[in-house]
Copies of this chain bind each other. A is one copy, B any other.
Amino acid sequence: MSKEITSRTQDYSQWYNDLVIKGELADYSAVRGCMVIKPYGFALWENMRDQLDKMFKETGHQNAYFPLFIPKSFLSKEAAHVEGFAKECAVVTHYRLKNDPNGGGIIVDPEAKLEEELIVRPTSETIIWNTYKTWIQSYRDLPLLINQWANVVRWEMRTRLFLRTAEFLWQEGHTAHATSQEAVDETRQMLDIYAEFAENWMALPVIKGVKTESERFAGAVDTYCIEALMQDGKALQAGTSHFLGQNFAKAFDVTFSDKTNKLDYVWATSWGVSTRLVGALVMAHGDDEGLIMPPKIAPLQVVIVPIYKGDEQKAKIDEKVVSLVKQLKTAGIRVKYDDTDNARPGWKFAEYEKKGVPVRIAIGARDLENNTVEIARRDTREKSSVPMDGLAERLEQLLVTIQQDMYNKALSFREQHISKADSWEQFQQILNEKGGFILAHWDGTAETETKIKELTKATIRCIPLNNELEQGNCVLTGKPSSQRVLFAMAY
């Protein structure tokens, strides 16, 4: 047991922070609510980003880059949109500093006040749709399938590393279409891509669904989402894909002429995932020893630690490992040989456990004699002695197995934590005692949704896609309902 890391049962929230900080994913910064993403954390994000980027490009999307700043008046053009973001905006009001003539040091130059304030983008629909206005005239310009990797700022009052930070990194797709159906299809396609990424790359099972009206993105007609379950039984929204209808096209007057020369407003989608996914990964897979990285996106998949006494043994191990590393790299395995002499093997073992490296290999003098190595799996902590011959193939298979096992474990946990509640008592009891997702009937009103939230802090995470229709009665009001929706406490 790592003494540095608080256990989950002791303090789940502190455990999470310990994993992020001591696993060297991120650090607090001097700027309120902003974090520093450390090299190990950033390498993880790069692997996630590169895979998502590949999936976006394979489905015909191109990257572009739009300004960081949004004129205040733009934000106001879509009524629901500004309502949703006005309360958490970083506002640029001046463009120059100067020396205080009264000796007060460096001050904001009052003469350098902007005519119109600029908002640091909380999301880019407005600046992008203002641009699309000049790019789109005819149906031949559609669909326009654009994605942007960017930083955004939302001045949240309560922040958590990765889960909720004032500045975060994300991608935001913004597409334009000639028909409503095509835009809906795009919205659903991107939701599927997010789900595929979460499940196949992050080993994180998710439930696809659609948000209720009150949980919708500010300016959307429909918000689709993927919802994951964390080990404390709370849900985490891992990605959203919005069908925006013609709302932004109308706000920014973006029309196109169709094949018959008829003018119509353009149909829109937007969709995004962020560095929040790193937080999801930490909470879904970590244990009391530290992080556990899914092999497919692990910055480092295999670490090799030598165990030796004296320079002579070390030299022999080095010689063997150099050729092993070469073999593993040729097989495409991300491997590191840690032969630094400033720490004992046991200390290194704990370090790489904290960082969640999927496989650790130890090689000592006896291993050299026997032509074996010791392999330790991070996820199960199982150890075994295996022959050096054919190690690359064995590891390739093992990494696939670990990836699958991690997914299965998370899926099994999730399946054990989806309950049905058919009465208000049962609903409260499950929430308080077991946690997790609750499938329950709801009368479909925002009023009841709010009431349930006030009473229990649980929210409707989504109406699952392909939901079975089933007659029942609202768990709170008893009014008739035709399907169960998914409730949970959430991050």
Contacts and interface: CB of A to CB of B under 8 A. Distances in A.
A50 to B, nearest CB: 10
Given A31-B69, A67-B167, A108-B117, A91 B87 contact: no
A89 B97 contact: yes
A106 B76 contact: yes
Interface stretch (A36-44, A325-333, A387-395, A443-451): A36-44
Contact of A69 (B38, B105, B118, B167): B167
B36 A64 contact: yes
Interface stretch (A127-135, A176-184, A414-422): A127-135
B43 A63 contact: yes
A347 interface: no
Interface residues of A, number: 63
Contact of A37 (B64, B120, B155): B64
Interface string A21-34: 00000010111001
A163 to B, nearest CB: 16
Contact of A86 (B31, B45, B96): B96
A446 to B, nearest CB: 22
A200 interface: no
A112 to B, nearest CB: 8
A66 interface: yes
Nearest to A69: B31
Contacts of A31: 67, 69-71, 118, 127
Contacts of A146: 39
A108 B36 CA distance: 28
A74 interface: yes
B68 A167 contact: yes
B30 A42 contact: no
Interface of A: 27, 29-31, 34-39, 42-43, 45-46, 62-72, 74-76, 82, 86-99, 105-106, 108, 117-120, 127, 130-131, 134, 140, 146, 150-151, 153, 155, 167, 169, 342
